[in-house]
Structures are given as C-alpha cells and as structure tokens.
Amino acid sequence: MTAAPTAAPEVLRRVFGYESFRGEQQEIIDHVAAGGDALVLMPTGGGKSLCYQIPALVRDGVGVVISPLIALMQDQVDALRALGVRAGFLNSTQDLDERRLVEAEFVAGELDLLYLAPERLRVESTLRLLDRGRVSLFAIDEAHCVAQWGHDFRPDYLALSQLHERWPEVPRIALTATATEATHAEIASRLKLQDARHFVASFDRPNIQYRIVPKDDPKKQLLTLLREEHTGDAGIVYCLSRNSVEKTAEFLVKNGIEAVPYHAGLDARTRAEHQARFLREDGLVIVATIAFGMGIDKPDVRFVAHLDLPKSVEGYYQETGRAGRDGLPSTAWLAYGLQDVVQQRKMIDGSEGDDAHRRKLTAHLEAMLALCETVTCRRAQLLDYFGQRTDASSASCGNCDTCLTPPESWDGTIPAQKILSTVVRLKRERGQKFGAGQIIDILLGKKSAKVIQFDHDALSVFGIGTELREAEWRGAVRQLLAQGLLAVEGDYGTLVLTDASAEVLGGQREVRLRRDPVRAAKAPRTSTPRQRAAPVDLPEAAVPVFEELRAWRAATAKEQGVPAYVIFHDATLREIATASPTTLDELSALNGVGETKLAKYGPQLLTLLTPNA
C-alpha cells in the first residue's frame, strides 16, 4: 500500500473498522510513519499493535516485527490476514519450503508485515535477506525482554541494538506493557533509543475491577466467584505450585467448569495444546503457574484469579492485566491469607543470592502486602506504585473492592499486644517458638492436643483473647506480619518479635487494623446476576441475539481453524446485537467491521439478524 502519512485515519477505518484513535495512538503513528523512532509504554489492551501496524501500512516497504512469542505468531498473522493485511512470519516452526515462500514474498515486496523471532536476527543470512527487500520500519515488541530482570530471550534482544547501525534510515518503534521507571530506562539505553520520542500512557485499566479478599477456602471461594459472576467466561487462575495448579483444575472440572492445567512440569505438547484451546475456544478456564500468559493477546479474558499471593506488585499488575484487553468489564480477584505471608517470607529466607537480593525480594513482598492491606483505593495505590500519582480528589475509583465496600479500620493495639505477649511468654519463660495456630489456640483458650501436650493451658495468657473469633485473630496476625510488627522464622513458620514489636508492647505505638469483611462478600457490580458471558451493559433484549452471534462465530472460527476473536471480538458482536443493522452500510459503521470482514461476513450476518426477511 502506498500513501502519505495522512492516510492513517483512513487505514484505521477501512482496514480495522475503527472510528477513532485511542489515547496517543495517532501521535505515535504519525511520528513513526514520518520516520521517527519511538519507545512506547502502554498497558496491556491499550492498543499497541496499531501503533506499528498502521505505519507499516502507510509507509513504503515491509514492516518487520520482532516478537519472541513464536507460538503466537500464527495467530497474529491469521488475525491480520482476516483483515486483508498481507502478513507473514519466519520462525523455527516452519520447514524450509514455507520459509522460502515467505522470504520470496518479502523480497518481492508482497508483504505489509513480517513477524520475526529475535534469534533470527543473529543469523547473517537473515540480515542479508532484509537487505534484499525494503524494510519500512522495525517494531520491537515485548521490549522489556532486554531488561536485566531476566528473560530467556535477553541475548537475542540485546543484539537488536545493531539494527540501528545497519539500517540507520529505518525507523524503530519499541513497545512494552511494563510500567516501572527502571525498566523504561533500561530499554532506552540497551536499544539505543535515548533520542527516540518516548510515549508513556496511563497504566490505569478502568475496566478491570480489582478485588482482594481474605483467603478462607480458596477453591470454594473461586468456585463461588465463577458461578455467581463468570459463568461461561474465559479466565486465568494463577497458583504458585504445579501441584495446586493440578488440584485446582481437577476441582473445577469436577464442579462442572471446563478447565485445563498449565505449568512447566507438563510436556511441551500438552502445554501447547492447552494454550491453543484456551485461545481458540470460548469460555475455557486455564489454571496456571505464572509461566503462562506473556504475549497472550486473547481479548476476552473476563477474569484473572490469584489463589496465591503474587511476589511483587509488578507481577500482580502484569498478570491481572491479561484480563479485559477488549475494554469490557473484567475482574481481577485475589485471595490472600496468613499462610501466604508465612510462605513467602520463608521462600525469601531460603532463597539463593546475597543479602542485597533478599532485601530486594523483601521490598517487593512488602509493597504487595501493603496493597493487600490497604483501606484506601486499590487502583490509586497501584498507580501510585508505578509513579502515576492520582489526585487526592480522584483517589476513589468506584471499581475496586475498597471503593465499593469501604473497609473499616479499627484500633487493634490491645489484640496486637496480646499476640505479641504470648510470643514473648513462650520465648522468655520456656524458650519455645510456635506458629500462628498455636498462639491463636492459646489466646482463645482452646484445649487442643498440642496445647495440652506443651502445658500451654497453664500460661497466664491462656484464654485471654475470647473477644475475637479465630478468623479475626488470623487476620490480626497476618496484618502484624504485613506491618513488620511480627516476623516468621525457620521452616515451621514460627513467630518471632521484630525491633518494632517493643513499641507496641510498651504502649508507645498504636496499631491500626483493617476489619476483614465477615464473608468475602462480592462487590456489587450489577443488581442482577450476569447472563452467560454477556457484557453487563448489553440490553436485555439483545442478549439472545448476542448468544446467537457467538454460536455463529464459534462455528465459523472452527471451520477456519482460527481463534474466535480473529472473526470478531466480543465488543463488536455486542455492537451488532445492540444495533441490529439491516444493511451492509449500517453494519460497516460498527466498530471492528472493516472492509474485508464486511465483504466476507456481512451478508451472512444480515441473514442471521433478519431470519424472516
């Protein structure tokens, strides 16, 4: 395609079927289309792809996209072809003939976009191939892979700094969804993009509802969430260990929810198959360790649930960010409890590496705990963490659990003193150390076998804590750990005092605690339970049509062997169901209906919408 940069809005409408640019898309596209270098930090779902796809379409030559995720290249290329864009890829999954064909298309200028795995660029023959064709731009996707915090692709990514030397006239655009300042700086210096224009978008994801609930029976809590709010929805459940991944997936299946496991212990084929099913099918749940998810651009992931505490706020943000790329309402749900804190502290103590490394891990954990225990807006705190301060006035987002049902904070100084003095007594009088369970049994005056065995019913603190229930004591211990007023030690999670404990015991320091909701009440989103996967704001009357469209889409996708979203996104189906167009013109006005899809599916859709016509 040949056209001046001014053609960008036209390409947006004609090819992608979208009415207007989002956020800074237009500025970025104009800048790159005019030959400028760019570094783009934009959250997942922000619309990074268009930022290099449109310049590639309006500039002469082929846009070369470097992406480490070879398992997803086929889907990316399929999605582009479905829009009528001439796209191809080169990676190690192809045989020689397939590769030759793509190479010939590239040299002949018969492609708009060419996807390349980064390791290809370390091979001289690839570089010579690029010399034989005409490159319109280099897009470096997942650019955080150059950063120090370790990715498998790092050496390949570091080599990308040479693109600039070999093809100084070709503009480069690097993109990432990583929000931290440190990574931003590192990408700029490693890829020699200091002189590029930097575009940093807001990292807010307004359509994601953040909820963090006290963990009590996590599998059951998850099941309730799925049954009450996400029936038939696609989603990701994250667990820390392979074992809990397996158990949770089994549990969901037993309870009638379609779910598959994903972790590094499964063989590569099973893993690839489960990932492919998740991408292709509507409404499958994948239960995974954090090894799953990078680059997954399934737009309609409706929930991300964490059954264990993420190790850092960065991790939490990246993982939850995989929900709702299509901008429709989605849930980020995390169940978190005392055991998580104990376990993670233990992992840090036992971790390899020097003290500086452990301090870093501790700082990460502490920031995550602060997010869990906050009584103020989770979103505000999250953005604050990434240095994107919200004004005090807008520090209530209305779409996180603490904004929807503000938790109370209460003066927990006396219960804190009771916990701490029990720890002191055991240590001072008897040289013993115990975990939270025993301390709580003692406070409640429970004559458990272990209490009797150690004669703990003879302690003066035995039974002094009947004013709180067991769950409340656990909540209090958890929060003391989170606030650094108590620490855990050794393999058994025994509780010990910290330097700060003395101030509490001496009465010089007040302890504020968050009152956990009695039941992990779900935040009110709508007054009526959601229909099967129908977006909340879909009018009642349009729901059956939406369902019909989904069934049509599933059948069409299956026939073509592509993911359902390659045909149309949920957001587009929703618009079609709501607007009920009766002519091709009306249909083409809807978001996500470009020229190619209109020609291909328009007539079928109109028949489907007006069966009696």
- The site for Zn ion (CB under 5 A) is made up of 377, 379, 397, 400, 403
Residues 6+ apart with CB under 8 A from 331: 208, 209, 211, 225, 229, 230, 302, 303, 304, 305, 323
SS3 assignment, position 464: coil
Structure-token pair, residue 335 = 């169940």
Least distance to ligand ADP, CB of residue 59, Å: 19
Q: Which DSSP category does 561 fall into?
A: T
CA geometry: angle 351, 354, 356, nearest 5 deg: 105
Nearer to ligand ADP, 44 or 275 (CB): 44
Q: Which DSSP category does 16 fall into?
A: I
Structure-token pair, residue 312 = 């850092």
Structure-token pair, residue 179 = 């929000």
SS3 assignment, position 344: helix
Stretch that binds ligand ADP, among 17-25, 80-88, 266-274, 555-563 (CB under 6 A): 17-25
Least distance to ligand ADP, CB of residue 598, Å: 16
Which partner, Zn ion, ligand ADP, none, binds residue 49 by CB below 5 to 8 Å per kind? Answer: ligand ADP
What's the rounded Cα separation, in Å, for the pair 301 and 284? Answer: 9
Nearer to Zn ion, 330 or 501 (CB): 330
What's the rounded Cα separation, in Å, for the pair 518 and 334? Answer: 17
Nearer to Zn ion, 300 or 516 (CB): 516
User: In terms of residues, how long is the chain?
Assistant: 613
Which partner, ligand ADP, Zn ion, none, binds residue 403 by CB below 5 to 8 Å per kind? Answer: Zn ion
Which partner, ligand ADP, Zn ion, none, binds residue 18 by CB below 5 to 8 Å per kind? Answer: ligand ADP
User: What strands, in cross-sheet order, belong to the sheet with 87-90?
Assistant: 87-90, 113-116, 62-66, 135-140, 172-176, 38-41, 197-200
CB-count burial class (<10 Å; 0-12, 13-18, 19+) for 223: middle
Residue 369: HSE in the Cβ half-sphere, 13 Å Cα cutoff: 23
Task: Assess 441 for contact with ligand ADP (CB under 6 A).
Answer: no
Task: Assess 119 for contact with ligand ADP (CB under 6 A).
Answer: no
Task: Please identify which residue in 21, 157, 210, 278 interacts with ligand ADP, judged by CB under 6 A.
Answer: 21
Neighbours of 582 (CB within 10 A): 12
What does the longest C-alpha to C-alpha distance in the chain come to? 88
Task: Please identify which residue in 514, 569, 574, 597 interacts with ligand ADP, judged by CB under 6 A.
Answer: 569
Least distance to ligand ADP, CB of residue 177, Å: 6
Least distance to Zn ion, CB of residue 402, Å: 6
Stretch that binds ligand ADP, among 37-45, 115-123, 237-245, 495-503 (CB under 6 A): 37-45
Task: Assess 84 for contact with ligand ADP (CB under 6 A).
Answer: no
Task: Assess 297 for contact with ligand ADP (CB under 6 A).
Answer: yes
Which partner, ligand ADP, Zn ion, none, binds residue 377 by CB below 5 to 8 Å per kind? Answer: Zn ion
Stretch that binds ligand ADP, among 18-26, 195-203, 343-351, 439-447 (CB under 6 A): 18-26
Task: Assess 333 for contact with ligand ADP (CB under 6 A).
Answer: no
Nearer to ligand ADP, 325 or 379 (CB): 325
Which partner, ligand ADP, Zn ion, none, binds residue 312 by CB below 5 to 8 Å per kind? Answer: none
SS3 assignment, position 18: coil
Tell me, by CB under 6 A, how many residues bind ligand ADP. Answer: 18
- Helix axis angle, 242-254 to 218-229, nearest 10°: 50
Binding mask 38-57 for ligand ADP (x = CB under 6 A): ----x-xxxxxxx-------
Which partner, Zn ion, ligand ADP, none, binds residue 400 by CB below 5 to 8 Å per kind? Answer: Zn ion
What's the rounded Cα separation, in Å, for the pair 145 and 178? Answer: 10
Nearer to ligand ADP, 322 or 418 (CB): 322
Least distance to ligand ADP, CB of residue 201, Å: 9
Nearer to Zn ion, 123 or 536 (CB): 536
Beta bridge partners of 306: 238, 334
Task: Assess 326 for contact with ligand ADP (CB under 6 A).
Answer: yes
Provide the phi-psi class of 321: left if phi over 0, else alpha when psi is between -120 and 50, else beta. Answer: alpha
Nearer to ligand ADP, 55 or 133 (CB): 55
What's the rounded Cα separation, in Å, for the pair 498 and 500? Answer: 5
Binding mask 523-562 for ligand ADP (x = CB under 6 A): ----------------------------------------
What's the rounded Cα separation, in Å, for the pair 18 and 5? Answer: 17
Least distance to Zn ion, CB of residue 518, Å: 21
Among positions 445-464, residues that touch ligand ADP (CB under 6 A) are: none
Least distance to Zn ion, CB of residue 395, Å: 8
Residues 6+ apart with CB under 8 A from 356: none
Q: What sign does the CA torsion over 535, 536, 537, 541 have?
A: positive
Which partner, Zn ion, ligand ADP, none, binds residue 22 by CB below 5 to 8 Å per kind? Answer: ligand ADP
- Is 105:111 a contact under the CB 8 Å cutoff? yes
What's the rounded Cα separation, in Å, for the pair 495 and 436? Answer: 7
Contacting positions for ligand ADP (CB under 6 A): 18, 21-22, 25, 42, 44-50, 297, 299, 325-326, 569, 591
